[in-house]
């Protein structure tokens, strides 16, 4: 058996691993969001693609791979809905930003039609000697981690995961012991996340403070993150207008449509009912006449309704822009966070609003990663999806005495 490292090795973005058995199985086929880069194209025949979850760095190039290979595609129902939303939006963004375009709307439709929907606990038989188990990765609604069993070997591929629960999902649940190889994300191998409850309290206080002072709390969110923020606001008893805009609306509706992937669907329903959905600039301008909180895409501030709000609010010292997710380097959001300047195309604004950032990561923190590796007890660890993969591999090796590596894109691992 062989594993081909196609993307997401020693980097975050465009995750993809090809496993050669009697089948040609690929786990994830993402895009590097900042540059639009796809993973390497598989050198051997691809028979099956398993998508872990609804983020572009894991599925952004899947429509392209499908058009080229017509492989079987497996994922959960929630991920299938996120895929449609994200791939359509990525096409728009690619056109605006002059990024490479590798698929068409027709390819998205064809891909979605062919998706075989799977559930946690399923075991998918690909051939008499090869099967793939599906487990809950605890990252976002519908996120899965996969175990490939073939030719007497067991390979665990995590995608992105989190052991601790969030408001929306219950944390990873799996029954996997001693795989021959573990492909693990290590996004936060270098640091811990603050306790969730603390982060929630601080976020709520910052929003409340802004509104009490007559301002507007503007939250540029990743679409899939919106339900969690809504639930926090609801839980703490927010009694001011809450608006939902851009793809944050669609992603919330997708989570509501898949109760089987949400920790407490009644709580999410309650929270979503309190939020008002906005569609037109006139509605947006009316909304910001009074103190309120607005959750909108794009999280990286590279497009979407957030741009309109920034143009209206950037001079107001009583307002706050509040980040709740990782800001990708070289994006407008990251630049604003680092410098206080909002630059996007011809837009160049010196922002007077308060700029705040809170850690609501849906990834395992450092000690969760170590705990996970110890629990799973693999023969070999392959570190990927991180900026410090080599350092983490060295640490895993010395701490647990397990063979651990951090290969490069293009490397082949013999199993
Ligand atoms: Zn993810
Ligand atoms: Zn990821």
pLDDT of residue 96: 85
Report, in angstroms and rounded to the nearest whole number, the Rg of the chain calculated over CA atoms: 21
The CA 126 to ligand 2 mean position distance, Å, reads 26
For domain 2-191+362-414, give the fold.
Answer: Metallo-beta-lactamase; Chain A (3.60.15)
pLDDT band at 145 (very low <50, low <70, confident <90, very high): very high
The CA 363 to ligand 1 mean position distance, Å, reads 8
CA distance 234 to 267: 8
pLDDT band at 34 (very low <50, low <70, confident <90, very high): confident
Question: What's the pLDDT tens digit per position in 186-240?
Answer: 999 999 999 999 999 999 999 999 999 999 999 999 999 999 999 999 999 999 9
What phi, psi does 195 have (nearest 5°)? -55, 135
The residue extents of the domains of the chain are 2-191+362-414, 196-357
pLDDT of residue 293: 98
The full DSSP string for 64-128 is: HHHHHH--EEEE-HHHHHHHHHHHHHHHHHHHHHT------HHHHHHHHHHEEE--TT-EEEEET
CA distance 95 to 91: 6
Percent of the chain with pLDDT over 90: 96
Q: Is residue 408 packed enough to be buried (19+ CB in 10 Å), middle (13-18) or exposed (0-12)?
A: exposed
| Class for the domain spanning 196-357 | alpha beta
The CA 365 to ligand 1 mean position distance, Å, reads 14
CA distance 195 to 206: 17
Beta bridge partners of 16: 7
Q: Is the dihedral of CA 321, 326, 328, 334 positive or negative?
A: positive
Closest ligand to residue 86's CA: 1
pLDDT of residue 401: 96
145 CB contacts (<8 Å, ≥6 apart)? 52, 135, 136, 137, 156, 157, 158, 159, 161, 172, 174
Closest ligand to residue 30's CA: 2
Q: Is the dihedral of CA 152, 400, 145, 107 positive or negative?
A: negative
pLDDT band at 326 (very low <50, low <70, confident <90, very high): confident
**Residues 317-344, buried b or exposed e (16+ Cβ, 10 A)?**
eebbbbbbbbbbeebbbbbbbeeeebeb
Same CATH topology for 2-191+362-414 and 196-357: the answer is no
The CA 139 to ligand 1 mean position distance, Å, reads 7
The CA 99 to ligand 2 mean position distance, Å, reads 20
């Amino acid at each position: 058996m062989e594993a081909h490292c196609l993307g997401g090795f020693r980097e975050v973005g465009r995750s993809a691993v090809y496993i050669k058995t009697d089948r040609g199985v690929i786990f994830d086929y993402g895009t590097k969001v900042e540059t639009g880069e796809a993973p390497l194209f598989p050198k051997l025949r691809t028979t099956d693609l398993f998508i872990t979850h609804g983020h572009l760095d894991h599925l952004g190039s899947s429509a392209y791979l499908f058009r080229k290979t017509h492989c079987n595609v497996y994922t959960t129902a929630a991920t299938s809905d996120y895929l449609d939303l994200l791939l359509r939006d990525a096409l728009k963004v690619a056109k605006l930003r002059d990024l490479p375009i590798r698929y068409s709307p027709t390819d998205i439709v064809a891909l979605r039609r062919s998706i075989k929907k799977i559930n946690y606990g399923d075991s998918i038989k690909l051939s008499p000697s090869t099967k793939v188990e599906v487990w809950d990765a605890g990252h976002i609604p519908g996120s899965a981690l996969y175990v490939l069993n073939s030719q007497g070997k067991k390979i665990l591929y995590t995608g992105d995961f989190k052991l601790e629960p969030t408001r929306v999902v219950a944390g990873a649940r799996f029954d996997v012991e001693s795989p021959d190889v573990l492909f693990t994300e290590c996004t936060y191998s270098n640091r811990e996340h603050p306790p969730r409850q603390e982060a929630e309290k601080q976020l709520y206080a910052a929003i409340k403070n802004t509104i009490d002072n007559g301002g507007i709390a503007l939250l540029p969110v990743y679409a899939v993150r919106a339900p969690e923020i809504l639930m926090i606001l609801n839980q703490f008893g927010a009694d001011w207008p809450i608006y939902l805009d851009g793809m944050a609306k669609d992603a919330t509706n997708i989570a509501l449509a898949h109760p089987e992937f949400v920790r407490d669907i009644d709580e999410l329903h309650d929270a979503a009912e309190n939020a008002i959905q906005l569609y037109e600039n006139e509605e947006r301008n009316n909304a910001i006449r009074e103190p309120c909180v607005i959750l909108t895409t794009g999280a990286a501030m590279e497009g979407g309704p957030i741009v309109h709000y920034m143009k209206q609010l950037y001079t107001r010292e009583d307002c706050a822009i509040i980040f709740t997710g990782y800001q990708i380097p070289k994006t407008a959001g990251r630049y604003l966070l680092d410098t206080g300047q909002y630059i996007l195309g011809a837009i160049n604004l010196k922002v007077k609003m308060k700029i705040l950032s809170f850690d609501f990561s849906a990834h395992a923190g450092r000690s969760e990663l170590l705990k996970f590796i110890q629990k799973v007890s693999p023969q070999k660890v392959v570190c990927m999806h991180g900026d410090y993969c080599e350092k983490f591999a060295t640490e895993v090796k010395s701490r647990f005495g397990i063979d651990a590596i951090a290969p490069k894109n293009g490397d082949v691992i013999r199993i």
